[in-house]
Amino acid sequence: MDFDIKLISSTTSIMSLKTDCLVVGIFKKNKLSSIVKDIDKYGEITNILKSGDLNEKLGSTLLLRNIQKINAKRILLVNLGDKKKKIKESNFIKIIQSIMNVFCNIGASNLLLMLPFNKIEKYNLSCLIIRTIIIISDNLYRSDAQKSKKKPIKINIKKIIFALDEKNYIDGKNAIIYGCAISKGIELTKNLGNLSANICTPTYLENISKKLSFDYKMDIEIINREQMQRLKMGSLLSVTHGSSEPPKLIIIKYMNGKFKEAPIVLVGKGVTFDTGGISIKPSYSMDEMKYDMCGAASILGTLYAISEMNLELNIIGVIVASENMLSGNSTKPGDIVVSMSGKTIEVLDTDAEGRLILCDALTYVERFKPSVVIDIATLTGACVVALGHHNSGLFSRNDEKHTKLVLDLLRAGKMSGDTAWNMPIEDRYQKQLKSNFADISNIGNSSADSITAACFLENFTKKYVWAHLDIAGVAWKSGDKKGATGRPVTLLTYYLMLKSPNINFK
């Protein structure tokens, strides 16, 4: 799908615009938008609306043909709701999806969007264009890479054009670039997440990382099992004992900022399949544990997006990839392991493996002297209980530098629609991780599990500014719509865009 901008000036005649389909809005009780008034010179649209052909429900559509003196071959009317009220973000998504539903049933090859974007709540034109592109791309996505027969996408539309005035033209052009880059990053993340675990192994993630690095001229380093042993990554290695698949620590360096400027480091959990180990998971829905690498996948998607945008930042992506399987060599509940930091950890639950691999990666990244570190992980089911499938859980310390990082991430989430919710980290929760036999245990008691998981990680992040994103509730969907979502690629990319000096995006 291609996207473009049509420049509309004060002297442009809407009647003369040539397009296969012109999309315009009307409001509740058949109140016309200013654009519709301009094209309804002969009252045809007013008469059609009076006949009751357009449903009063928000997002309802009515396709018209052969309207007098109009060059557009078709006009698509979309109900935008109450004219006196701003359009809520959730309703805006419904409107775009309703338009998408019409795409599939018409022969038009191009479409001109002339919607009143300024009527949308918390109006930001660039964000709305990006969001529109992401919604459309998401609707066109198919998770059929491993099917013998691919289901064809029944749509004739090849190009979607946004009608903008001269004031917004440049911002619109840039927003299309950003939207397409983020959409492709999301697609990469979803593709990786949806692959079966016998294909998407740690070695497969290594190969994808190498290809991405080659395509965009990024430096890459792969740390294998033997190197992990020399680095004394005992916590990470303890998770890998039960698997024949070799673990990988993948470091990708996107260094496009100022020389010696401290990098932003993204650390992603890449457990390509999680049985739970000896603390084995129930069989129901265990297939979905192929999604336990979505934190890693989101880093690759984000690196793709920022490379397409050429952000002027130094960013290091660190992917810690392994399986958590059972065998005679598997780590047992009660085993004590030594982390790279030197801290000893009592492994009370082998299904709390994400924090065990992340803690050594978080220690490793100290060498980069980062400005901030953000880890992304499908870490706890407790986060799903707490926040459902709407918000990522955001955890960080409570001081000036960490509060700024939290606020920046929350802002990026609100702007992008890929939202997070700030959760607490306090010393009171650290007491739940006390062990009688080691420096720390890898789980607390049954309460506040998502918080104690974040508190565990916090013990390994004392030397830099850090935040943790628990994406267990947002990384994939279950049921009939099972599949990876691509989150939080949009949140992370927005966060980085807002930091980049060459992106005029506020």
Catalytic residues: 281, 355
DSSP collapsed to 3 states, 167-233: HHHHHHHHHHHHHHHHHHHHHHHHHHHHCCCCCCCHHHHHHHHHHHHHHCCCEEEEECHHHHHHCCC
CB burial class (10 A; 0-12, 13-18, 19+) of residue 388?
exposed
Q: Is the peptide bond before 488 cis (omega within 30 degrees of 0)?
A: yes
Check: CB of residue 180 under 8 Å from CB of residue 3: yes
Q: Is 296 helix (H, G, I), strand (E, B) or coil?
A: helix
Check: CB of residue 295 under 8 Å from CB of residue 270: yes
* Angle of CA points 330, 337, 266, to nearest 5°: 95
Check: CB of residue 339 under 8 Å from CB of residue 234: yes
Written as six digits, the tokens of 202 are: 């740690």
Check: CB of residue 188 under 8 Å from CB of residue 137: no
Mention every residue, 6+ apart, whose C-beta is less than 8 A from residue 407. none
Beta bridge partners of 61: 78
**Closest Cα partner for 303 from 376, 233, 369, 356?**
376
- Cα separation, 355 vs 459, in Å, equals 11
- Cα separation, 171 vs 123, in Å, equals 14
| Strand order across the 392-396 sheet | 219-223, 248-255, 314-324, 264-274, 372-377, 466-470, 392-396, 420-423
DSSP string, 124-139: -HHHHHHHHHHHHHHH
Written as six digits, the tokens of 25 are: 């809005």
- Residues written for the chain: 506
Q: Is 376 helix (H, G, I), strand (E, B) or coil?
A: strand
Written as six digits, the tokens of 189 are: 């993340």
- Cα separation, 505 vs 356, in Å, equals 37
- Cα separation, 127 vs 439, in Å, equals 46
